[in-house]
Structure 1
Amino acid sequence: MSVRDTGAVDATFPRARRNQLGYKTVEVEEFLRRARRAYDGRPAPDDDPLDAERIRLTAFSMQKGGYSTSHVDSALERLEDAFAFRERQIASRLHGDEAWLSEARSTAQVVANRLARPEGARFERVSKLAKGYDVGEVDAFADRLTQYFRDGWPIAIDDVRTVVFSAQRGGYREAQVDLVLDAVVDVMLAVR
């Protein structure tokens, strides 16, 4: 945040309305300071390491009148892209482009193998009493991802990052689906 000549505080992101939930501003601001230090190569001694994957997994508490979730999420996606690009540059210098691409191909093959499983059996299911991701919706999205990996069909990285599935009793185990989607994002960032 910065203070204007008038003394008013200028927020980094637009805020949700006073009665609506947004991200806790203090947490977002601290994370951005930490990310800046990490990106500049000057982390504080007590900073945890930060990379593209950790940025993707970042979550903030909610507060009424906090930062707009859509604006912060968009900024985090751009930040993740910047960190991934820098990580690729460093890995390419240290190990060469071929090693980096080889790892991405290996990850892509693991994901493609998972997606090639029969519909309704691509992921573990939760019990019939618990809710998981809607099997039909996940399988339909998995078919799109299969076309991306197998045929080069276009799909935007934001489509993968922002996909939302309905809940269903006896559906797919959410954590497992989310891990595969994270791996897809990793591959897409690697081959950009």
Structure 2
Amino acid sequence: MEPVHDSFRRVHGREKGYEPAEVDAFLDRARASFEMETTDGEPVTAAAVRDASFALVRGGYSVAAVDAALGRVEDAFAAQERADAIARLGARAWVEKQRTDAQEILDRLSRPPRNRFDRVSAIRYGYRVEEVDLVADKIARYLADGTGVSVEQVRSVAFRMQRGGYREVQVDALLDAVIEIMLAVG
């Protein structure tokens, strides 16, 4: 894995970016984990890279540049994890696991529109149902025939909020699972 954080540009003026020390520390830890050096704390995984978050500060690193680098880092970890899993389980068992995981997601997405996820109460905000259902349809097509959506599109999807919308935690968990499958199958 090549260095990714030596060249991040910093934002200027009132604009906020990611806290440089946090980004640098995370990427250093990720590098050590990827290269299988000893690290403090839990080893970094593709999922940990996807879940990484940093404080926003004036003069910080460009959010877009860091997010793009994190996408590449996540891809590298996913490829390593895929190779490790195939070596450990064997190709046939690994493929079957991916197929089973994809079918579970497809089963959820096959539910009728407006009923694919739990809803928050009418006085709380959740993800806008129509937007989530539109993305869910695209993901279902991808899982069924491999067309229509890329990892970057799933990573960058954002939904507006509405009262009584879909429960964010469930939608986010499904999107994470889709990303894991997409990265696992390469």
TM bucket (normalised to shorter chain) is over 0.9
Alignment partner of 1:181 out of 172, 175, 185: 175
Alignment partner of 1:168 out of 147, 162, 165: 162
* SS of corresponding position for 1:137: helix
Alignment partner of 1:158 out of 145, 152, 155: 152
Q: Return closer, same or farther for 1:125/1:186 CA change in 2, 3 Å cut-off.
A: same
Q: Which runs of 4+ in 1 moved over 2 A?
A: none
TM-score (norm 2): 0.94
Gaps of 5+ in 2: none
CA contact (8 A) 1:104 1:190 kept: yes
In structure 2, the residue matched to 1:3 is: none
**Whole-Å separation in 2 of the counterparts to 1:18 and 1:29:** 22
In structure 1, the residue matched to 2:21 is: 26
TM-score (norm 1): 0.91
CA contact (8 A) 1:115 1:143 kept: yes
Alignment partner of 1:38 out of 28, 33, 39: 33
* SS of corresponding position for 1:165: coil
Q: Percent of aligned pairs with the same residue?
A: 45
**Whole-Å separation in 2 of the counterparts to 1:189 and 1:164:** 20
1:36-75 to structure 2, matched below 5 A, reads: 36-44=31-39, 46-75=40-69
Paired residues in the alignment total 182
CA contact (8 A) 1:101 1:190 kept: no
CA contact (8 A) 2:138 2:148 kept: no
Alignment partner of 1:114 out of 105, 108, 115: 108
**Whole-Å separation in 1 of the counterparts to 2:12 and 2:173:** 33
Residue 154 of structure 1 and its aligned partner are, at CA, apart by 3.2
**Whole-Å separation in 1 of the counterparts to 2:177 and 2:64:** 23
User: C-alpha offsets along residues 129-169 of structure 1, whole Å, 9 cap, x if unaligned?
Assistant: 11110000000111111111113223111010001111111
Gaps of 5+ in 1: 1-9
Instruction: Answer yes or no: is 1:14 the counterpart of 2:14.
Output: no
Larger Rg computed on CA atoms: 1
Opposite residue 130 of structure 1, the aligned amino acid is R
1:83-102 to structure 2, matched below 5 A, reads: 83-102=77-96
Opposite residue 28 of structure 2, the aligned amino acid is R
